[in-house]
Every structure is written in structure tokens, then in C-alpha cells.
Amino acid sequence: MGSPISSLIAKIFLQHYEDANVKQLLDMKNIALYVRYVDDIVVIYDTTKINLHTINTYINKIHNNIRINPTYEEHNSIAFLDLTITLEVDIYRKPNTTHTIINFLSNHPIEQKMTAFRFHITRMHSLPLNPDKKQTQWEYNQRLRTITFRNTCY
């Protein structure tokens, strides 16, 4: 399974890597924003000053074991974590998502089952979704509820 401190060492290494190399790109104003959460990175840059190939080549040359595999902007939006970032926020679901949560008949405590629903509802209310996207998310939550309780008889 690996050492329990491996994630800490990886975090220290990446922080040093960013301080030594990515900070230079930020200081030179070649990139406007660099945000990393675990292994997902968003970089916003000015295409009149620098192109993606230059940034990608620079970062890939710094260390032999680190390779950046960029995902490009499509239709003025990009996927980051479980969100689609555009001029407006939307919830991103991977194409292979299962659209399921904990089965209600499973042996999990009721608190865990209800927390799964609360997460979806809280996320829907806490994100700045436009009314159409909020309605779509509400309908998605209703489908999840139907799927989960379909075989439940009381």
C-alpha cells in the first residue's frame, strides 16, 4: 500500500517544485494564474505573450519524472475537479460516471446514506448556478433519489 508519509513527501516536493519553477513564470507575468489541487492544475495565460507549447516545454524540461498532459479549453470552458469552468459555473460529470450513490438497502448507517443526498443538494445551492442549470441539477437529484429508493418497500 505504500508508506504513510509518501503523500506528505509528494506535497513537499511539489511545493518546492512550484516555488522554484512555476513562481518564475508568475513573476515574469507569462502566466496569469496557476492553481493546483492534488494532481489537477489550471493555468491561465495571455496568448499574446506566450503560447501553451512554450509553457509545456519549459515545465516538462524541469524534472525528468514530471510530465504535464494538458487539456485544452473547449467551447470557452474547461473541466477542473468536478466542475466545468466557463463564464458561468456548471457541475462536471465524467463521461463514465455511474450516476449512483449508496444503495438504501445496504448495510451502511442511515447518516451516510442521507449525507450522500445532502452533498448533492448542498452543492446545488452553494454554487452560483443559473436557474436553468439549478433546475437540471434538481432533476438529476430527483433521478438519483428514484434510483436509490426504487426497490425499497416500507
Where do the domains of the chain lie? 6-70, 79-149
Per-residue pLDDT tens for 86-120?
766 778 888 887 777 777 778 888 888 788 788 88
Residue 1 confidence (pLDDT):
57
CB-count burial class (<10 Å; 0-12, 13-18, 19+) for 39: exposed
**Which grid coordinates are listed for 135?**
433546475
Query: In this model, does residue 11 exceed pLDDT 60?
Result: yes
CB-count burial class (<10 Å; 0-12, 13-18, 19+) for 128: exposed
Confidence tier at 135 by pLDDT (50, 70, 90): very high
